[in-house]
Amino acid sequence: MQNLNIKIGGQAGQGLVSIGTILLRAATQEGWYLFAHQDYESRIRGGHNFFQIRLADRPVASWENDIDVLVALDEATITRELEEVKPGGVVIYDPDVLGPDAQKLAEQSNSIGLPFARMAEELGQPKIMGNAVAAGAVWALLSEDLTELHETLALMFSDKGPAIVQGNQQVASAGFARVRELLGERPRPGKPANPGPRLVLRGNDALPLGALAAGVKFMSAYPMTPSTGVTEFISEHGRRAKVIMEQAEDEIAAINMAIGASYTGVRAMTATSGGGFALMTEALSLAGSAEIPIVVVNAMRPGPSTGLPTRTEQGDLRYAVAMSFGDFPRAVLAPGDVEEAFYLMAHAFNLAEEYQMPVVVLSDQHLADSYTTVPPFDLSRVEIKRGKVVSGEEAGPDYLRYRFTADGISPRLYPGFGQGLVVAAGDEHDEHGHLIEDAETRQKMMEKRMAKQKLVEENALEPVLCGAEDAELMLIGFGSTKGAIAEAVEMLNSRGIRAQGVHLPQVFPLPQGLEVLLQKPARKFIVEGNYTGQLEELIASRFAWKPDGSIRRYDGRPMNAKYIVDRLPGGVCHG
Amino acid sequence: MANSGFVVCKETAWCPGCGNFGIVRALAKALDGLGLQPNEVLYVSGIGQAGKLPHYISGNVLNTLHGRTLPTATGAKLANGDLTVIAVGGDGDGYAEGGNHFLHAIRRNVNITYIVHDNQVFGLTKGQASPRSDRGMVTGTTPLGVYNEPFNPLATAITLNASFVARSYAGDQEHLARTIQAAIQHEGFALIDVLQPCVTFNKINTYQYFRERVYDLDQEEGYDRTDRQAAWARSWEWGDRIPIGIFYQIQRPTLDQHYADILIKPLVRQELDKSVVEEILDEFRIG
Q: What is the CA radius of gyration of chain A?
A: 26
Chain A residues closer than 8 Å to B101 by CB: 249, 252-253
CA distances from A200 to A23, A206, B282 (A): 12, 10, 11
**Which has the closest alpha carbon to B236: B156, B136, B182?**
B156
Instruction: Tell me the CATH number at A375.
Output: 3.40.50.970
- Angle of helix A203-213 relative to helix A228-237, nearest 10 degrees? 50
Distance (Å) from the alpha carbon of A28 to chain B's nearest alpha carbon: 7
CA distances from A409 to A70, A405, A455 (A): 57, 6, 10
**Which has the closest alpha carbon to A316: A275, A269, A357?**
A275
Whether A200 and chain B come into contact, CB under 8 Å, resolves to yes
Do A311 and A397 lie in one domain? The reply is no
Whether B82 and chain A come into contact, CB under 8 Å, resolves to yes
Q: Which residue type is seen at B169?
A: Y
Domain boundary at A133, A156, A183, which? A183
Task: Identify whether the C-beta of residue A26 lies closer than 8 Å to the C-beta of residue A187.
Answer: no
Please state, in angstroms and rounded to a whole number, the distance separating the CA atoms of residues A341 and A348. Answer: 10
Please state, in angstroms and rounded to a whole number, the distance separating the CA atoms of residues B118 and B245. Answer: 15
Confidence of residue B4 (pLDDT cuts 50, 70, 90): low
- A42 inside domain: yes
Cα B37–chain centre separation: 20
Give me the DSSP letters along A211-277: HHHTTEEEEEE---TTTHHHHHHHHHHTGGGT-EEEE-SSHHHHHHHHHHHHHHT-EEEEEE-HHHH
Task: Identify whether the C-beta of residue B15 lies closer than 8 Å to the C-beta of residue B199.
Answer: yes
Mean local confidence (pLDDT), B198-224: 95
What are A363-420's pLDDT values in tens digits?
A: 999 999 999 999 999 999 999 999 999 999 999 999 999 999 999 999 999 999 999 9
Q: What b-and-e string marks burial along A187-217, b requiring 16 or more CB atoms within 10 Å of the CB?
A: eebebbeebeebbbbbbbbbbbbbbbbbbbb
Whether A350 and chain B come into contact, CB under 8 Å, resolves to no
Neighbouring-strand partners of residue A476:
A502, A526
Distance (Å) from the alpha carbon of A218 to chain B's nearest alpha carbon: 7
Q: What is the DSSP letter of A82?
A: G
- Residue B3 clears pLDDT 60, i.e. is over it: no
- A253 inside domain: yes
Whether A107 and chain B come into contact, CB under 8 Å, resolves to no
Helix (H), strand (E) at residue A28 = helix A16-30
Please state, in angstroms and rounded to a whole number, the distance separating the CA atoms of residues B229 and B247. Answer: 10
Number of A:B CB contacts under 8 A?
Answer: 215
**Which has the closest alpha carbon to A25: A111, A142, A118, A116?**
A142
Would you kindly state where each structural domain of chain B is located, as residue ranges? 19-283
Range of the structural domain that residue A498 is part of: 464-566
CB contact under 8 A, A266 and B268: yes
Picking from B52, B68, B111 by the largest number of A CB atoms within 10 A of its own CB, the best residue to mutate is B68
- Closest to B284 (Cβ–Cβ): which among A205, A248, A262? A205
Distance (Å) from the alpha carbon of A383 to chain B's nearest alpha carbon: 12
- Residue B2 clears pLDDT 70, i.e. is over it: no
CB contact under 8 A, B286 and A200: yes
Do A215 and A352 lie in one domain? The reply is yes
Q: Which residue type is seen at A188?
A: R
Could you tell me which chain A residue has the CA closest to the CA of B36?
A416
Whether B1 and chain A come into contact, CB under 8 Å, resolves to yes
Task: Identify whether the C-beta of residue B116 lies closer than 8 Å to the C-beta of residue B20.
Answer: no
pTM over 0.90: yes
Do A502 and A524 lie in one domain? The reply is yes
Average pLDDT, rounded, for chain B:
96
Whether B200 and chain A come into contact, CB under 8 Å, resolves to no
- A572 inside domain: no
Helix (H), strand (E) at residue A140 = helix A130-142
Cα B87–chain centre separation: 5
Residues sharing a CB contact under 8 Å with residue A2, sequence separation 6 or more, in sequence order: A55, A56, A57, A189, A190, A192
Do A321 and A363 lie in one domain? The reply is yes
- A299 inside domain: yes
DSSP strand E in A341-440: where?
358-364, 371-374, 423-425
Distance (Å) from the alpha carbon of B67 to chain A's nearest alpha carbon: 10
The 3-state DSSP class for residue A337 equals coil
- A194 inside domain: no
Q: What is the DSSP letter of A9?
A: E
Residues sharing a CB contact under 8 Å with residue A61, sequence separation 6 or more, in sequence order: A35, A337, A372, A482, A483, A484, A486, A487
Domain boundary at A381, A411, A431, which? A381
Listed as ranges, residues in chain A with pLDDT below 70 are: 571-575
Task: Identify whether the C-beta of residue A231 lies closer than 8 Å to the C-beta of residue A219.
Answer: yes
- A387 inside domain: no
Q: Do the interacting molecules here have an ipTM over 0.95? A: yes
Task: Identify whether the C-beta of residue A348 lies closer than 8 Å to the C-beta of residue A319.
Answer: no
Do A13 and A99 lie in one domain? The reply is yes
Residues sharing a CB contact under 8 Å with residue A90, sequence separation 6 or more, in sequence order: A68, A69, A70, A110, A111, A112, A141, A183
The 3-state DSSP class for residue B215 equals strand
- Closest to B63 (Cβ–Cβ): which among A217, A398, A425? A425
Please state, in angstroms and rounded to a whole number, the distance separating the CA atoms of residues B219 and B229. Answer: 19
* β-strands A216-221, A464-467 pairing: unpaired
Rounded to the nearest 5°, which phi and psi values hold at A453? Answer: -60, -35
Do A435 and A350 lie in one domain? The reply is no
**Which has the closest alpha carbon to A247: A267, A275, A215, A272?**
A272
Do A247 and A366 lie in one domain? The reply is yes
- A189 inside domain: no
Handedness of CA B75, B76, B79, B82 (dihedral sign): negative
Picking from A237, A256, A325, A342 by the largest number of B CB atoms within 10 A of its own CB, the best residue to mutate is A256
The 3-state DSSP class for residue A50 equals strand
Do A453 and A360 lie in one domain? The reply is no
Q: What is the dihedral of CA B27, B169, B88, A411, to 10 degrees?
A: -20
Q: Which of A:277-306 have CB within 8 Å of B?
A: 282-283, 286, 290
Do A137 and A217 lie in one domain? The reply is no
Picking from A249, A267, A429 by the largest number of B CB atoms within 10 A of its own CB, the best residue to mutate is A249
CB contact under 8 A, A257 and B40: no
Picking from A266, A324, A379 by the largest number of B CB atoms within 10 A of its own CB, the best residue to mutate is A266
Domain boundary at A321, A356, A381, which? A381
Q: Which of A:235-274 have CB within 8 Å of B?
A: 237, 239-244, 246, 248-250, 252-254, 256-266, 268
Q: Which of B:22-41 have CB within 8 Å of A?
A: 38-40
Do A227 and A358 lie in one domain? The reply is yes
Whether B284 and chain A come into contact, CB under 8 Å, resolves to yes
Give me the DSSP letters along B105-168: HHHHT-S-EEEEEE-SB-TTTTS-B-TTPPTT--BTTBTT---SPPP-HHHHHHHTT-SEEEEE
Domain total of chain A: 4
**Which has the closest alpha carbon to A321: A312, A313, A330?**
A330
pLDDT of residue A110: 85
Architecture of domain B19-283: 3-Layer(aba) Sandwich (3.40)
What are A442-473's pLDDT values in tens digits?
A: 999 999 999 999 999 999 999 999 999 999 99
Could you tell me which chain A residue has the CA closest to the CA of B104?
A249
pLDDT of residue B1: 47
pLDDT of residue A575: 42
Do A375 and A425 lie in one domain? The reply is no
Q: Which of A:364-383 have CB within 8 Å of B?
A: 376-377, 379
- A574 inside domain: no
Could you tell me which chain B residue has the CA closest to the CA of A202?
B284
Q: Which long-range contacts (CB under 8 A, 24 or more apart) does A153-156 make?
A: A153/A22, A155/A25, A156/A21, A156/A22, A156/A25
Do A260 and A320 lie in one domain? The reply is yes
- Closest to A256 (Cβ–Cβ): which among B61, B72, B83? B72
Please state, in angstroms and rounded to a whole number, the distance separating the CA atoms of residues A51 and A39. Answer: 6
Task: Identify whether the C-beta of residue B76 lies closer than 8 Å to the C-beta of residue B83.
Answer: yes
Chain A residues closer than 8 Å to B104 by CB: 248-249, 253
Q: Which residue type is seen at A340?
A: E
